Amino acid sequence: MAVNLPLPNKDELKPISGLKLGIAEAGIKRANRKDILVIRLVPGSSVSGVFTQNRFCAAPVQLCRAHLLERNPIEALIINTGNANAGTGDEGLRRAQQTCDALASALDISPEQILPFSTGVILEPLPVEKIITAIPKAISALKEDDWYSAAEAIMTTDTQPKAASLTIQTSAGPIVMTGISKGAGMIQPNMATMLGFIGADVNINSDLLQDLTREAADLSFNAITIDGDTSTNDSFIVMATGQSAVSIQSKSDPAYAAFREGLITLSRQLAQMIVRDGEGATKFITIRVKGGKDSVECKRIAKSIAHSPLVKTAFFASDPNLGRILAAIGYAGVGDLDSSKVQLWLGDVWVAKDGGRNPDYKEADGQAVMKHSEISITVDLGRGNVEETVWTCDLSHEYVSINADYRS
């Protein structure tokens, strides 16, 4: 059950001019479920992406990187769920290329103008024939206003679709943005077993969009973790169709700051949806590490806390065994950390003062916070002015059950 995550309202998901979505059922893993999504972009769109850091990156990720690196004018994306096409070697690449070839032929564009994506079981051959058969159905279903179904079509162990829209007001007019994401397990930056797609109608320089995409990813999808596993297929894509009156060609353009803020806001919203829908999650946890010398050490300590099975299981049990947090701070790898300067809060409760138990801390106060479904942890390192935030969830019995039965 997702943690305080309402279903998206279909009527609030705004269409993006110049971007169409088509959904089909290919029966990749099981019958009678949406598992193919085709996104069609108007010619001249700008597309940027950030991908998994896993060295066993999936075949479609390899093709996406190549097509973007060649600066091909991207006009279509195709996403399948149910099979990751990862750990499949040269044959996997061949099947990913077949997918691009089939969609290119149907749309009368070049295969290099297509970005393919897959998510699902690793080390299994991609049933490319099923995908090719479903492509005409997806194309015939193309329309601008179908983001809810698009979010459903990329789900794996997600319990619900994840989607949101945002309208940014600028002096030149509005910028409309809508995004979808998926992921519930194998979530750990950089990046996670997640797919994220955001469409916007702004006209923006492609190099500038790539820089913004990378920044937005670092502040959102690369700041979440569920279980510490980094997937083979992670992809975060931003598509700008250029159909609005707003043009951003440099950082000095008046609309740049507003678009940047909006992109980061929507990316964080989509990323936090993934954590709230973490496999078996019952708690949504915000970890803020401040007072650091630099961003690297703050992130390292935040992720050390977020990855600790002992910390996560304590939160599931609502057990204020908070010494586990101090232990995770200590082994995070910040060699010159002075533990006597560290402060720790659970919510508003000051737990550890100057590296030891706060004399005024009462376990009943910690227990009261632990019972909440949304909890914040704040750590002050007392050695600088930098801070970073990571979002995570607890680790429950249900997480084990879901992953034990994943291929059943």
The continuous run of DSSP H or E covering 284 comes out as: strand 284-292
Q: Which two tokens stand for residue 319?
A: 């057990």
Beta bridge partners of 199: 178, 239
Measured CA to CA, the distance from residue 190 to residue 213 in angstroms comes to: 14
Measured CA to CA, the distance from residue 294 to residue 276 in angstroms comes to: 28
* 396 touches 316 (CB < 8 A): yes
Site of tokens 């913004």: 212
The continuous run of DSSP H or E covering 271 comes out as: helix 256-276
Site of tokens 């600066």: 71
Beta bridge partners of 24: 36
Between strands 343-346 and 349-353, the pairing is antiparallel
Between strands 235-240 and 162-170, the pairing is unpaired
193 is catalytic: yes
User: Catalytic one among 99, 170, 193, 241?
Assistant: 193
Residues composing the chain: 408
Measured CA to CA, the distance from residue 45 to residue 90 in angstroms comes to: 31
So which residues are the catalytic ones? 193
